[in-house]
Amino acid sequence: MGTPPATDRWHIDASEVIDWHEWGEEFVVRVASRAETHLLSAAAGAVLLALLDARQSLTVEALYAQVFQDYDAARPDRQTMPAIELESLRTIVSDLERLGIATRAS
């Protein structure tokens, strides 16, 4: 699938019903429309919750800002997002897309 471009955005369809339960360091997620259940890491769960809260398309940087409140994507003097965190978030959103939970909009 490759690394998603920085301009790509992800969202969860407004009509999608997703039930979730945080269980220690993991999230159990049920996608009602497909009767699928998935086990996600705490990091993937945090990204899922950010997408559910937003209910709009978000870039990886906007997701980072949602998940890590101390990151200010609007500040022109901000430091760039750490490369390892950027790559981790890109992997998570790609996995959520592969699972059919999130949808990419380029």
- The mean pLDDT value of the chain amounts to 83
Backbone φ, ψ for residue 39 (5° rounding):
-105, 120
Full-model pTM = 0.80
Residue 6 has pLDDT above 90, yes or no: no
pLDDT in tens, 44-62: 999 999 999 987 899 988 8
Report the C-alpha gap between 6 and 46 in whole angstroms. Answer: 19
Stronger pLDDT, 42 or 67, i.e. the higher one: 42
As a whole-number percent, the residues of the chain with pLDDT over 70 amount to 81
What is the layout of strands, in order, in the sheet containing 36-41? 18-23, 26-31, 36-41
**pLDDT for 24:** 86
Report the C-alpha gap between 43 and 46 in whole angstroms. Answer: 5
Token look-up 């559910």 returns: 52
**pLDDT for 48:** 93
Report the C-alpha gap between 82 and 38 in whole angstroms. Answer: 28
Domain limits, the chain = 9-98
Is 62 in contact with 69 (CB distance < 8 Å)? no
Residue 13 has pLDDT above 90, yes or no: no
